[in-house]
Amino acid sequence: GLEQGLEQGLEQGRQQGQASLLLKLLSLRFGELSAETKARVQAADEEALERLSERVITASTLSGVFDDS
């Protein structure tokens, strides 16, 4: 009940914070982001956000951050 709701709220908050930080890092590294890029980040789950955050450091291009090959 209440405990589960609180846990879900905390998880959503963490995910939103992670997405917000990733968007900031992406824009600092690659410049202004398209609405499509912002939407992709905001729709990503926690696992994808972590993977994308790591790629911000290693990718040389914005498309490289999102490349899953």
What is the full DSSP assignment across 2-65?
Answer: HHHHHHHHHHHHHHHHHHHHHHHHHHHHH-SPPHHHHHHHHH--HHHHHHHHHHHHH-SSHHHH
- Average pLDDT value for residue range 28-52: 96
pLDDT of residue 31: 97
pLDDT of residue 20: 96
pLDDT of residue 9: 85
pLDDT of residue 4: 87
DSSP label of 66: H
Indicate the pLDDT class of residue 55, thresholds 50, 70 and 90.
very high
pLDDT of residue 2 exceeding 90: no
Full-model pTM = 0.84
